[in-house]
Structures are given as C-alpha cells and as structure tokens.
Structure 1
Amino acid sequence: MKKIFAFLLFSQIIFAQGGIFDKNPIINQENWNKQRVHWGYYLGFNQLDFKFDYLSVTEDVQVGTTTGFNVGLIGNLRLSEYFDFRFEPGLYITQRNLTYPNILSTSDQLREVKSTYIFFPLLIKYSALRAGNVRPFLIGGVSTALNLGSNSDASDDNYNERFRMTKWTNFYEAGFGIDIYTEYFIFSPSIRGVFSMNDELIRDNTAGSPWTGNVDAMKTRGFFVNFAFH
C-alpha cells in the first residue's frame, strides 16, 4: 500500500508540473494519438504471491513476498479512437519465500523461490476521452511467460533443496492507468493485476512429499506498477 500511495503521489506531482489543473492548459502532443503505430518502454516494480489449493485440509503454506523489478518494451497499434492493441514484452525479476509450518526441521521449512520471467503479453487498451493533457485508460488481456529460474529440467527436488516450477505459464492481466502528455513525451503510470491460469508446481519425485504431496495447485498472483515512456 505504501508503494501504491507513492505511485499516486508521484503522478499528482507530474500532473501539477504539466499544468493540467490550469483553467486553460496548453495542449501538448495534440496529434500524438492519431499515429497508427508507436513505440515505447517501461520500468517498474512488482510484488508476486502464490495461491495454494490443497487436496486435504492442512495448515497453509506461508508466502513471504518481496518487491521485484520490471523492464520492457511497448509496441502499440491504433485500432480506433478509443481502442489500441498492445504487445509489451518484458523482464520481471521477483522472489517469494515459502515457509512450510508442518515440517519440523527449520532448515527444510524455508524455500526461497527466485524467478526471472520473460512476459509476452497481448493486451487491449481502452482510453477515455482526453481531458487537457491527461487521458485515463483501462488495459487487459492475456500473456504467456517463460520462467528462466523454474528448475523444471532438474532431476533433484525438495529433498535436495531444489524447488521446481513449470517453465511456461499463462496469465490474464487487468489494470488501469493514465496517459500524461508532456511537451516532449508521453508519461503513462499504470497498475495491473496478474493471475496465473494454470498450476505451476512440479511435484517431488517421492509420493507424499511434505512440500508438494498435498498441493492440488499453486498459481502466481500479484500486481505490477509500471512507468511507461512513449
């Protein structure tokens, strides 16, 4: 919540500097939205979690989240006055710390799950009417992601302190943001939720493993905050 508050505060500062609260603001980049294709890039941060479903009632696995880093490119195709098609490939680095309360050994309770995802999202952006130098938008769609830290090809498992996940995962995404038209570029802060469609856990080789034996599904969920420049 502190990060989201800082994001909103930063956006308000940008608004004020851009003069959008003036009675008659100078209209920046007036014809920018008429481009058929344009490009950009983004930087940001993420906080990803796991949602666990279990085969039988048990004490939940505790998930400790950390703040990760995002960077990527933007390709935008104008479909109409209000709709755009987006391709936003990016690199997302994150870590989740799993604690298994049913395991007595302290050394075996913790698993640090470090993930480096390459996301390939296909998105639809719906923009509202432009008001001065701002234009709010909604964005959503689907993506597939390659997890470079999945350990999916490893023969070792949690008994050798190796946590394994699937290499490819599908997601759906939904969020909102604001295009801010400055004199020289378009600044677009946005917040987006991301939710996995499929189970990402690779079970241990031993049936009844205390780490994976009772897990019916493990799916990523979380949010991205991106600061885009066009």
Structure 2
Amino acid sequence: MKRILAISLFLLCSQFSNAQFFGDQILNNENFDAQRWSWGYFLGFNSYDFHFDYEDYNPSPVTGQDFRVERRTGFNVGLVGNLKLGSNLDLRLEPGVSFSTRGFQALKADASTFREISSTYVHIPLLLKFSTDRLNNFKPFVVGGLSTSINLSSNENNPDDNSVGQFRMKTNTYYYEIGFGIDLYLYYFKLSPSIRGVFAINDELVRDEDPDSIFTGNVDKMTSRAIFINFTFQ
C-alpha cells in the first residue's frame, strides 16, 4: 500500500510539473506566500512499526528476530497553522489524530502470543519548513522538527499484562520527524502532498510483572517508527 501511495504521489507531482513547465504559465494564488499566517487541514495515511533494542540479543535462529511486527495502513487527519518566518522558511504547527493498527507476535512461542495493537494518537508536531523559490505553480520543500503524542489506547495504567492478553504501552511519546514534499498552487487553494518519517525517542514499553516475560523481559527499549503520507489543503 505504501508503495502504491508513493508512486501515485510521484506521478501526480511529475504530471503537474510537466504541465507547469511546458503549458501555460499562469500563476495561481500569486499572493498566497505574502500572508504572514495561513491555515489549513490535512488528510493522509500512516504505517507504524516497532524498533527493539535488546538486553541480550538472542534472536530466533529461523527469522533472526525475537518479534514479528505486522504493519498496516492507518489514517491521519488534522489542522495546520503556518507562520511565515522568511521567504523560504516557515514554522508549522500540525495537531492531528492518527489511527493505526499493528500486529505483534513473539516468535519464540506459539500463535497464542499474537497481539493486535490498535492505537489512537493525538499527534502534535512543531516543524520547520525549508522551501525553494517558487517555480511557476509549484515549490519543493523539506520539513523537520519535534513532536509529541498522547496514545489514547495505551493501557499504561491497566493492571493486567500479557499474561492475560494485554499489551501495554506508555501514554506519552516524543519524536523527531523529517520529510519532503511539494507545494502545488491550484486555482482556488494550495495542495501540499508530503512524505515524512516519524521516529520515537523514548521507550514506549510497559513491562510485564513477570521479569522473564517473552514479551518484555529481554527488551531494553521499544520505540515506534512511522511513515506519514499527508495531503495538506490551504
């Protein structure tokens, strides 16, 4: 699914670029970038994964891993506030909600260890956006910054653990983010497709009561990683 979305984004940008270079070069929304403040919203897709650091690395001899993570496509929606700092630099706040599901299984045990982890994140990034000069009706950019999220489905305070089927994560997580995209100036609005990597900084795993748990006993740190493909409308 991610490959299809990335290819679609590339083809869209390529088609639009060709039209602007070789078609009629009429500037849409010519004064859009003169605004100090601008607002919008975004819709998009996500794919979350886990990264593990182990206390004693002793993976399965068959797979080379202790755990199998099944990535699935989720959905993002949110708002955008943009402050123009300079001709090629913007500060952006993009509060939103991300819905994701991951399959998770410990490989050194039977199929009963499979967990389906559904998460609803209130995700709040503060980003710097570096853009090129506008080229007709498009403008490439890179973006990066820090973010935090509240996992509304974390189960952090649930007294039950994996011994009764409850996989628990911490509620608050901090990330760094980096990505790229392109601003497309259309007749009525600006459309900005982008791809962004999101990488958690702090450990998100809540340990089981059993120190020898196959889920948490050998894990030194568990962090989320995600790819966001967003379409921003301003």
**For residues 11-42 of structure 1, what are the alpha-carbon distances to aligned partners after superposition, in whole Å with 9 as ceiling and x for unaligned?**
334556xx413355101111110101010000
Q: Which amino acid aligns with 1:3?
A: L
Does 2:83 align with 1:77?
A: yes
Q: Could you state the TM-score of these two structures normalised by the residue count of structure 1?
A: 0.95
| Cross-structure match for 1:8 | 10
Deviations 1:122-170 (A, max 9, x none): 0000110110000001111000000011001100000010000000000
Q: How does 1:122-201 map to 2 (within 5 A)?
A: 122-201=126-205
For these two proteins, the number of residue pairs brought into alignment is 226
Long gaps (5+) in structure 2:
60-64
Deviation at residue 57 of structure 1 after TM alignment: 2.0
Structure 2 Cα separation of the partners of residues 5 and 23 of structure 1: 23
Distance 1:162 1:11 in 2: 43
| 1:20 aligned counterpart, secondary structure | helix
Q: Does 1:86 align with 2:92?
A: yes
Distance 1:192 1:106 in 2: 33
Task: State the partner residue of 2:111.
Answer: 106
How much identity, in percent, do the aligned residues show? 46
The separation in 2 between residues aligned to 1:91 and 1:148, in whole angstroms, is 10
Deviations 1:103-134 (A, max 9, x none): 1x321x21111111111110000110110000
TM-score, length-scaled by structure 2: 0.93
Deviation at 1:3, TM superposition (A): 2.3
> Following the alignment from structure 2 to structure 1, what is the Cα–Cα distance between the partners of residues 211 and 165?
16
Amino acid corresponding to residue 80 of structure 1 in structure 2:
G
Q: Secondary structure at the match of 1:162?
A: coil
Q: Write the letter of the residue equivalent to 1:25.
A: Q
